[in-house]
């Protein structure tokens, strides 16, 4: 269907002209789909495991066979309630499913079971850090494994983004297109995988606000453990509704919906390009068509997907095969009790309880799992700041280098703490410690015995050091004389000689002390 009404827009470079900035405001609302990490699908007992052979995770229910009946997965409701509570929503205590009718090969029932009239969560909001002039244009969100995230470090004003509603629904199957044979192939493994759609109000004005909102939502989902929220893999999908209006005007312009946004960078670029496209239309006296557009990130432009004539008409009606869901106060209370400490509260507590800088606390809480590893290690080592340095320096480097997920690191905090203490006690030098730290986080080795077995222990034994020092003094008679006649500068050279003799294993503090005594 994209082939219709192809209207290409030139890639937009740089920021809009100031004159335009003054004249037009951008109004943005988002529809975000997150794929839930339940073991099974929303209405049947088929596995949701990713990467299985095509159609092996299917049954009559998720392939829409006549006579099959869907039965709701309780976990999906619990996840939706948990997300609703975390985003300040009102929980709809009698929630219903509806049929959304459309015909497409990825949709074997010819309808999608979704929610329209009585969605599970209503009227929520998220607070995001307010966009600041000088931050514009800079990339506020990094997409690496450990996050990086929006700048919550410096305290600044917040802005409220309202959430209109949230609903539960099922995913569609996956189509792959065989260009050479002119056919499409359909795999229904994804059909019936549970999704939650989060619909915001049009409260955002810039790409930075959009990214801040998405980062916050993503972090909440990760902390709840309800989704892995990966844009590139489609477990988080974002549709951007955008319109422009004359600055200060109360009348909203016609909006378009942008699809196929697979990264935060693509979202940022698409927002800039769509704003420009709409302004250009208005400036030349044309009208913005209400339509769905598809973003092509490589081309830096979007294409019209649906013409006005075949605009959506989904003929929703209540789903007769799924029972209404009644959510009791007790159930909501039970889920409330199980809510985790979320990122921002945790970061504030780390700052307070462990006395680490706000910057460190922000970074260390980008993953709930790493935050808990940090907390245990910091407590056991009694060295919170040193622990923070090891995590932010070495651990994050290793995560990046190995391409592993933070959750894959399951070393025992005791081992990490033992090493950090050993470093502080001068039992191992920095280079050796880095080697051992990598072994700890990747293989969970016991650091002290490893250090001994591999000869990484610093020489702090006075006897051994004394011998080395005596040798150095004997071999460097001239320099020793210089030192004794008041040339303090050569002391460093002598320390270096001792370190060399001990192959870098000597505890430098001890060497200083002993050398001075001997001279």
Interface positions with other proteins (CB under 8 A)? 1-3, 38-40, 43-47, 53-60, 63, 71-75, 77, 96, 101, 103-105, 118, 175-178, 182-188, 310, 313, 315, 318, 320, 323-326
DSSP annotation string for 158-199: EEEEEEEEEEEEE---EEEEETTTTEEEEE-TTTT-EEEEEE
Q: Tell me phi and psi for residue 452, to 5 degrees.
A: -65, -50
Least CB distance from residue 324 to other proteins, whole Å? 5
Closest to other proteins by CB, 134 vs 333, is 333
Least CB distance from residue 84 to other proteins, whole Å? 17
Closest to other proteins by CB, 176 vs 339, is 176
Whole-Å CA distances, 402 to 2, 18, 50 = 39, 44, 21
Closest to other proteins by CB, 45 vs 382, is 45
Tokens of 60: 């009559």
Beta strands in 233-288, from DSSP E residues, in sequence order:
236-246, 256-261
How far apart CA 139 and CA 265 sit, in angstroms, is 8
Closest to other proteins by CB, 198 vs 305, is 305
Least CB distance from residue 103 to other proteins, whole Å? 4
Long-range contacts of 43-52 (CB under 8 A, 24+ apart): 43/70, 43/71, 43/72, 43/73, 43/113, 43/170, 43/192, 43/322, 44/70, 44/71, 44/192, 46/192, 48/193, 48/194, 52/189
How far apart CA 211 and CA 72 sit, in angstroms, is 33
* Cα 504 from chain centre: 41
Closest to other proteins by CB, 59 vs 490, is 59
DSSP annotation string for 32-71: EEEE---SB-SSSS-B--TTPPTTSS--TTTTT-TT----
Least CB distance from residue 78 to other proteins, whole Å? 9
Least CB distance from residue 64 to other proteins, whole Å? 10
For residue 490, what is the DSSP state?
G
Closest to other proteins by CB, 157 vs 183, is 183
Closest to other proteins by CB, 43 vs 374, is 43
Closest to other proteins by CB, 156 vs 312, is 312
Least CB distance from residue 186 to other proteins, whole Å? 4
Least CB distance from residue 117 to other proteins, whole Å? 8
Residues 362/374, Cβ–Cβ less than 8 Å: no
Question: Locate tokens 């051992």: which residue?
Answer: 436
Least CB distance from residue 231 to other proteins, whole Å? 22
């Amino acid at each position: 269907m994209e082939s219709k009404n192809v209207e290409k827009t030139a890639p937009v470079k740089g920021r809009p002209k100031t004159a335009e900035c003054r004249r037009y405001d951008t109004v943005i609302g988002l529809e975000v789909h997150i794929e839930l990490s339940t073991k099974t699908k929303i209405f049947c007992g088929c596995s949701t495991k990713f990467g299985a052979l095509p159609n092996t995770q299917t049954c009559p229910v998720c392939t829409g066979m006549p006579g099959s009946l869907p039965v709701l997965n309780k976990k999906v409701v619990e996840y939706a309630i948990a997300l609703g509570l975390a985003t300040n929503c009102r929980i709809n205590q009698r929630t219903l499913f509806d049929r959304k009718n459309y015909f497409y090969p990825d949709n074997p029932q010819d309808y999608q079971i979704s929610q329209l009239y009585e969605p599970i969560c209503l009227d929520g909001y998220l607070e995001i850090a307010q966009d600041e002039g000088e931050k514009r244009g800079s990339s506020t969100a990094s997409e690496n494994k450990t996050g990086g995230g929006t700048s919550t470090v410096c305290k600044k004003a917040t802005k409220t983004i309202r959430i209109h509603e949230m609903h539960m629904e099922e995913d569609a199957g996956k189509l792959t297109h065989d260009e050479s044979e002119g056919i499409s192939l359909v795999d229904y493994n994804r059909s019936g995988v549970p999704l939650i759609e989060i619909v915001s109000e049009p409260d955002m004005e810039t790409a930075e606000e959009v990214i801040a909102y998405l980062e916050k939502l993503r972090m909440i989902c990760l902390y709840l453990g309800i989704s892995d929220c990966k844009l590139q893999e489609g477990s988080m999908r974002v549709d951007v509704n955008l319109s422009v209006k004359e600055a200060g005007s109360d009348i909203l312009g016609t909006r378009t919906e942008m699809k196929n946004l697979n990264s935060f960078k693509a979202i940022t670029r698409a927002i800039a390009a769509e704003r420009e496209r709409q302004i250009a239309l208005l400036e030349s006296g044309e009208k913005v068509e209400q339509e769905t557009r598809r973003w092509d990130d490589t081309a830096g432009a979007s294409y019209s997907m649906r013409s006005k004539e075949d605009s959506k008409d989904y003929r929703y009606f209540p789903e007769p095969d799924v029972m209404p869901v009644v959510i009791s106060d007790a159930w909501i209370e039970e889920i409330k009790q199980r809510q985790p400490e979320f990122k921002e509260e945790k970061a504030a507590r780390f700052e307070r309880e462990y006395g680490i800088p706000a910057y460190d606390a922000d970074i260390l809480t980008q993953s709930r799992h790493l935050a808990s590893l940090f907390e245990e290690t910091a407590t056991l080592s009694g060295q919170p700041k040193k622990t923070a340095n090891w995590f932010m320096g070495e651990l994050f480097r290793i995560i990046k280098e190995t391409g592993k997920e933070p959750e894959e690191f399951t070393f025992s905090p005791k081992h990490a703490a033992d090493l950090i203490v050993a470093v502080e006690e001068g039992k191992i030098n920095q280079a050796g410690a880095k080697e051992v730290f990598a072994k700890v986080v990747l293989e969970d080795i016991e650091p002290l015995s490893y250090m001994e077995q591999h000869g990484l222990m610093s020489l702090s034994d006075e006897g051994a050091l004394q011998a080395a020092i005596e040798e150095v003094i004997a071999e460097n008679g001239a320099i020793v004389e210089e030192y004794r006649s008041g040339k303090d500068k050569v002391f460093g050279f002598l320390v270096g000689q001792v370190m060399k003799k001990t192959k870098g294993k000597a505890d430098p503090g001890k060497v200083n002390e002993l050398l001075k005594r001997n001279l």
